Structure 1
Amino acid sequence: MTNIVDGLSRRNILRGAGVASIGAALCPFAAEAASAEVPAPLAASQSADHATETMSVDAIDALEGAYGHQHGLRRNHTKGVGALGYFIGNPHAQRYSRSSLFSGRKLEVVARFSIAGGDPTVSDKDLSPRGIGLEFRLPGGELHHMTMLHTPMFFALMPKTFIDKFIALKVDPATHGPNQVAFKSFLMSHRDNDAQFAFLHQNNPPPSYANCAFFGIHTFRFIDANAKETIVRFRFQPHDGVKYLSKAAFDSASDEFLIPALFERVKSSAIKWDMIVSLGEPGDTLDDPTILWPASRSEFNAGTLVLETATPDPQAGSYKINYDPLMMSDGIAATNDPVLLFRSPSYAISHERRLREL
């Protein structure tokens, strides 16, 4: 079936429409697309998109194989909590990006904190990434999404590593637990996982989401008013400071402390993070989220995120949001990082399955 319309791939249609369902995004164009003659470059793009979508389906299937089918829940980062607040961008950032994210106006933000993986009952002591999804509501109805982790790097250079990890985590029917042999084999054969694995095992989990620095992981392009591009990476630095549980605190901690700590924290005052943008230099990697840039890169504060309230996940405004990392405002764009481009359709597939069950 032809899925190219006026030069737009499926992924681009989804990103532009901002919808969760692939079918819903394509339905209005189906009749026109079916009869359209596809030029050779678009046919190649279509083929590449089809391969990406196939991998995305494989990824969600692998997550369900590893953690089971969580009816009506997210397939990854399943355990979470919602939050509301605002962002005020630093107009200085307009030197690099024309995005209205940096207008200096107070912008509504719908957020969600989470723990990586598809287990809704995972212990808060689990040695896995903590995540945050942010939906910035910009003037004129424009949306901008960010999805970040508390690890400075990702574990996969290519989508195949992501898929293979969760295939390796599939429950062993003989032991009803993880297949240790399969996971050890994954670790030995996928060395792009090494840096994040080491980070998670060298640092205990944070005592609170308020003590997490959150990293954008990927490289992005800032585009100014004259269409000049600057390569950037960013992180959100907490005003409460980055902290990890001590060994004693880790040993004595319960399996449920992150959400109670968040609710307790917002009682006293709003929680704040500064958006720190690093400026790339020639030779910096653009498409490998497992490699860090040198710490010597020039940085500036691009704004402040303020979260004022927290809400249990099912009642939160974030509950039905698909935090698609390719939903970006004008003035911010993706690079050709294959993992970044893979995340958008895989999120859409996961979200579509979940919405069918709600």
Structure 2
Amino acid sequence: MVDSLEYNTGKIYPGFRRAHTKGICVAGHFDSNGSGAALSTAPLFVTGTVPVIGRFNTGGSVPAGADADQIFHGLGLRFLFPARQEWRMALDDTPIFIVSNATDFIALQIASKPDPSTMQPDPSKMKAFLSVHPETQRFLDYLAKAPTPSSFANGTYHSINAFRFTNADGATHFVRWQFESETPFTAIDKSTSSKLPPNFLFDDLLQRMHEAPLRWHLILIPSNPGDRTDNATIAWGPGHDRVDAGTLVFDQIATEENGHCRDFNYDPLILPKGVSRSDDPLLPARSAAYAVSFERRAIEGPRPDAITLQEEKGAAQ
């Protein structure tokens, strides 16, 4: 999977993540209201406050890429608990994923490799891939129609995959979850986004957090009978229970070079007691790929963060 990302990009950027390369560190806490304990014994759901380190990021593998070129918004979270427990999450701003397994992910990276002369994938290769992967076409159709958040601050971030929760009585539930922002949603104008400054998402987040903390509600969504727990390309239907488990608050922000989110990964299988993996094959694949990416960039040594590179690129121009 990591090799395919490097192949798709056509260039390795030493010291950087192989995907979701451009990011910024945030920190704060999670205020639990105790409601999540009905589903899981995880320490996050005990009434009280838990510290958290996060990382907002765009998609892609080019450190100095402009924000407008990356329609994907992501959020990594690392919750720290007593007794050496922690919970790491890798969240997307889409409720579904583009493929359902590692083999298809690799094939997509190969098919979508940009032609250096046009910076676009070969249409014939993409057509061939999409003809046998309707789930990927469904995801692309969703992206084309769905409004894109104008800010990291006003987006909803989804677990994508389902996980198995176990409560104090030993009852288990498959659960997806999402963090829903208290900041009113506004959409970016896709027709004019290319005219925005290259770091507009990160500049906006810096300004907002210097003015006031930002908040999201953690909404747990238990599965209904018939919901797929092994396929992240399929959205769960309407009519689900929603459990508001508490509030995520970010009140600190720093570049990756100065913050504390760069030198570890957001492995979705680093889980506390009370939460375990589902039968979704993407979970072990993501975990393994994150580890390989981390090992490679650790050997290569840290570089200036992507935002600093973008600013240096702009100054040189």
Give the structure-2-normalised TM-score: 0.90
- Structure 2 partner of 1:216: 159
Match of 2:78 in 1: 135
- Structure number with greater Rg is 1
Aligned equivalents of 1:309, 1:185: Cα separation in 2? 46
Deviation digits for residues 168-189 of structure 1 (CA, Å, limit 9, x no counterpart): 233435x263332323333333
Distance 2:17 2:252 in 1: 22
2:42 corresponds in structure 1 to 99
SS of 1:272's equivalent?
Answer: strand
Q: 2:110 aligns with which of 141, 144, 167?
A: 167
Does 243-252 or 261-270 show the bigger shift? 243-252
Secondary structure class of the residue paired with 1:178: coil
CA positional deviation for 1:126: 2.6
Tell me if 1:148 matches 2:66.
Answer: no
Contact 1:270 1:307 in 2 (8 A): yes
Residues 36-51 of structure 1: pairs in structure 2 closer than 5 A: none
Change (3 A) 1:147 1:352: same
SS at match of 1:140: coil
Q: Does residue 277 of structure 1 match 2:220?
A: yes
The one-letter code of the counterpart of 2:144 is H
Instruction: Please state if 1:61 is matched with 2:6.
Output: no
Shift in Å at residue 76 of structure 1? Answer: 0.7
255-264 or 242-251, larger mean C-alpha shift = 242-251
Q: Work out which of the residue numbers 230, 241, 246 in structure 1 matches 2:173.
A: 230
More divergent stretch after superposition (85-94 vs 271-280):
85-94
The 3 A distance-change label for structure 1 pair 275 and 319 is: same
Per-residue CA deviations over 1:4-31 (Å, capped at 9, x if unaligned) read xxxxxxxxxxxxxxxxxxxxxxxxxxxx
User: Aligned with 1:264: secondary structure?
Assistant: helix
- The 1:243/1:303 distance shift into structure 2, 3 A limit, reads same
Letter in 2 for 1:320: D
Q: Single out whichever of 239-248 and 93-102 deviates more from structure 2.
A: 239-248
Change (3 A) 1:350 1:304: same
Kindly state the Cα deviation for residue 225 of structure 1 after the two structures are TM-superposed. 1.3
Shift of 1:124: 1.4
Contact 1:220/1:232 (8 A) holds in 2 = yes
User: Of the candidates 283, 290, 304, which is equivalent to residue 347 of structure 1?
Assistant: 290
Distance 1:127 1:205 in 2: 11
Gaps of 5+ in 2: 302-317
Answer 1 or 2: which has greater helix percent: 1
Query: Equivalents in 2 of 1:316, 1:187: separation in Å?
Result: 40
- 1:351: how far off? 0.6
> Which residue pairs with 1:301 in the alignment?
244
2:4 partner amino acid: A
Look up the SS of the partner of 1:230 in the other structure. strand
| 8 Å contact kept, 2:222–2:242 | yes
Distance 1:115 1:183 in 2: 23
Residue equivalent to 2:67: 124
User: 1-side partners of 2:134 and 2:219: how far apart?
Assistant: 29
Q: Which moved more, 1:93-102 or 1:186-195?
A: 186-195
Aligned to 1:42: none
After superposition, residues 175-324 of structure 1 pair within 5 angstroms as 175=117, 177-181=119-123, 182-247=125-190, 250=193, 252-324=195-267
Q: Which stretch shows the higher mean deviation, 255-264 or 162-171?
A: 162-171
Distance 1:144 1:235, change over 3 A: same
CA deviation after TM superposition for structure 1 residue 253, in Å = 2.2
SS in 1 for 2:27: strand
* 1:297 counterpart SS class: coil
Matched-pair contact (CA < 8 Å) for 2:25–2:256: yes
Residue in 2 that maps onto 1:356: 299
Q: Per-residue deviation at 1:104? A: 1.8
When structure 1 is superposed on structure 2, of 186-195 and 337-346 the one drifting more is: 186-195
Distance 2:190 2:90 in 1: 29
Separation in 2 of the partners of 1:202 and 1:120?
A: 27
Q: 1:151–1:196: 8 Å Cα contact kept in structure 2?
A: no
Contact 1:135 1:146 survives alignment (8 Å)? yes
RMSD: 1.7
**CA 1:251/1:323 → structure 2, altered by over 3 Å: closer, same or farther?**
closer
Residues 103/153 of structure 1: CA separation in 2 closer, same or farther (3 Å cut): same
Q: CA deviation at 1:248?
A: 6.2
